[in-house]
Amino acid sequence: MSGGLAADLPGLDLVVDPDVLDSLSHDDAEWAPAGRPVGAVRARTTEEVSLVVAACAARGIPVVARGAGTGLSGGANAVDGGLILDLTRMNKILRIDPDNMIAVVQPGVVNDDLKAAVAAHGLWYPPDPASAPWSTIGGNVATNAGGLCCLKYGVTRDYVLGLQAVVGGPAGTYGTAVRLGHRTTKGVAGYDLVSLFVGAEGTLGVVTEVTLRLRPARAAAPRTVVGAFPSIVAAGDAVAATTRRGLLPAALELLDRACLQAVEEWKHLGLSATAEALLLAQIDTPGESGQAEADALAQVFRDAGAQWAEQSTDEFEAEALFAARRLAYPAMERLGPVLTEDVCVPRSAVPAMLASIEEIAARHGVTIATIAHAGDGNLHPLMRTPVGDDAAREAAQAAFEEILAAAIALDGTVTGEHGVGLLKRRGMRQELAPPVLAMMQAVKQTLDPRNLFNPGKVTGDPD
C-alpha cells in the first residue's frame, strides 16, 4: 500500500500481503477482469469506513467494497490503483426486535447466520440466494440478491427498510455517514434512496448497516413436489402452466441432467439422473389447503408431460433435492471455469427461452448446463470450458452474448439477480434505451461526482 495512504489510516487493519490481496481482488465470476489494488483495509466500524473513504477521496483512490466475494458478475473485483474495503469483519447482528419484526445488522453478517439468529426468535429472513451459507447481507444488498423463495416472498430489496451508508457528493464531504429509509414498515418521507442503493453494487456509497424486515417463522416444514421431465422444454411448459393455474409455490426450481450429474459425482446424494430435467417445488401453505395445492401442482406437472410427479413424503429426500439445487453451481465449478448467465424472462416465455438456449448451445458446440429459478423466469445457463481451450472459450463467449440477446427479444432482462458488475455492462446497454442509461449515469454522477465508489461497474463503459 502506498505509504501516504497507510499513514492516513493509523490503527486500521491494512492488508499488504500480495497473496491475500490477490484473494481479495476478485469475486466468483470467472472471466471477469480484476485490476491491481494498492491495498486493502479490513474495516471494523462505520467510523473506520468513513476514515477510509475520506482518506481515499483526498488522494483520489477509488474504493471497492466487498463481502464474501461470492458475486458472479465481477461487481466486487478490484480496480487498478484502488483500495479494497473488506467488510467481512463487520459481522455483528446489532439488534433483533421481535415486537417489530426487524433486525439491524452490519454488512458482513452471513445470510445463513442471520437466518439462524432470527429463527431463535420465531422469525424468518426469507431471501435465500444459493450462496446463503457464505454470502453476506452487504453483498446481498449490493446485488439485490434473489434466491429460491423469491417467487412467493420477493427479493432482498423487499426486506430492506433502512440503510446506513458512507457517501460523498451532495451529502457533504466524502466519508459522511447517512441513514436512509426508516425503521417503520411504511414510510414515504421523500425519495426512496434505499431502493436506489440496493442493487447499486457499491457504486453510490458503502453500506455499513442494514435494517431488515422479517416475517414470522413458517408454521411447518414446506411440502416438496418433484417432477421428472423427458425434456427441458417440457419442464418449461410445466412452469408456465403452474402460473396459469394460479398456483404460487414458495419455490419452483429447475435442474437439468448435467447439473444433477455434477452434484451426484461430487456429493453422492443418491440422486438418479434418468430424467432430462427435474422441477422442485415447495408449497408452504399450511394444512389441507397446502395439500390441495401440492396435489394440483403434481397434476400440472403430469399434464405438461412429466414422466412422474409426486409429493416427497421423505423429509431427507426433499432436503437432498434442495441441497442438490444449492450445490449445482459449485459442483459445476469443480469441473472447470464456468461462465454463468442470469437472464430473466416472463414466466410464459420460459419454454421458448429454454429452447433458445438449447439451440444456441448446439450451434456453437458449447456445453450448457441449466439451473433456474424457473418460477421467476430466472435462468442460469452455465457454460463450462476446458482450461486453456481458447476456441471453446470464444465459442462460449459468443453463446453468452446470443443468450442475452434472446432474453431481451423475449421481453426479458440480462440479469435477474446477479447484477451488472463487469460482465453484464454490454448486455445492459442492449437492454436499456440510451435515455434510461443516461438517467442512471446522471444519478451516479450526482451522488458520486468524483467517481470514487466502485468506478466502472454497472453504468461504466464496457471494455
Angle between helix 257-267 and 315-333 (nearest 10): 100
Q: How far is the CB of 228 from a copy of itself (least distance, A)?
A: 24
Chosen residue from 262, 417, 454, 456 binding a copy of itself by CB under 8 A:
417
Q: Does 411 participate in binding a copy of itself (rule CB under 8 A)?
A: yes
| Segment near a copy of itself (CB under 8 A); pick from 16-24, 26-34, 356-364, 405-413 | 405-413
Q: How far is the CB of 156 from a copy of itself (least distance, A)?
A: 10
Q: Which of residues 276 and 417 has its CB atom nearest to a copy of itself in the complex?
A: 417
Per CB under 8 A, contacts with a copy of itself among 106-125 are 122-123
User: Which residues are 424's β-sheet partners?
Assistant: none
Q: Does 97 participate in binding a copy of itself (rule CB under 8 A)?
A: yes
* 3-class SS of residue 123: strand
Q: Any alpha helices (H) in 189-309, and if so which ranges?
A: 193-197, 232-244, 257-267, 287-303
Q: Which of residues 274 and 289 has its CB atom nearest to a copy of itself in the complex?
A: 289
| Segment near a copy of itself (CB under 8 A); pick from 76-84, 140-148, 222-230, 276-284 | 140-148
- Distance of alpha carbon 377 from alpha carbon 307, whole angstroms: 22
Q: How far is the CB of 38 from a copy of itself (least distance, A)?
A: 28
Cβ-based neighbours of 164, under 8 Å, separated by 6 or more: 46, 177, 178, 179, 180, 207, 208, 209, 210
Q: How far is the CB of 402 from a copy of itself (least distance, A)?
A: 17
Q: Does 144 participate in binding a copy of itself (rule CB under 8 A)?
A: yes
Copy the grid coordinates of residue 314: 421423505
How would you class 176 by CB atoms within 10 Å of its CB: exposed for 0-12, middle for 13-18, buried for 19 or more? middle
Q: Does 418 participate in binding a copy of itself (rule CB under 8 A)?
A: yes
Q: Does 457 participate in binding a copy of itself (rule CB under 8 A)?
A: no
| Segment near a copy of itself (CB under 8 A); pick from 82-90, 173-181, 251-259, 260-268 | 173-181
Q: Does 443 participate in binding a copy of itself (rule CB under 8 A)?
A: yes
Q: Does 439 participate in binding a copy of itself (rule CB under 8 A)?
A: yes
Q: Which of residues 61 and 423 has its CB atom nearest to a copy of itself in the complex?
A: 423
Q: Which of 326, 55, 312, 52 is nearest to 66 (CA)?
A: 52
Q: Which of 93, 88, 123 is nearest to 105 (CA)?
A: 93
Angstrom CA distances, 400 to 161, 167, 362, stand at 35, 35, 13
Chosen residue from 34, 61, 85, 167 binding a copy of itself by CB under 8 A:
167
Cβ-based neighbours of 222, under 8 Å, separated by 6 or more: 250, 282, 283, 284
Q: Which of residues 335 and 408 has its CB atom nearest to a copy of itself in the complex?
A: 408
Q: Does 2 participate in binding a copy of itself (rule CB under 8 A)?
A: no
Cβ-count burial 15-24 (b if 16+ within 10 Å, e if not) = beeeeebeeb
Chosen residue from 19, 99, 390, 463 binding a copy of itself by CB under 8 A:
99
Per CB under 8 A, contacts with a copy of itself among 174-213 are 176, 178-180, 182-193, 195-196, 198-200
Angstrom CA distances, 299 to 195, 302, 304, 307, stand at 39, 5, 9, 12
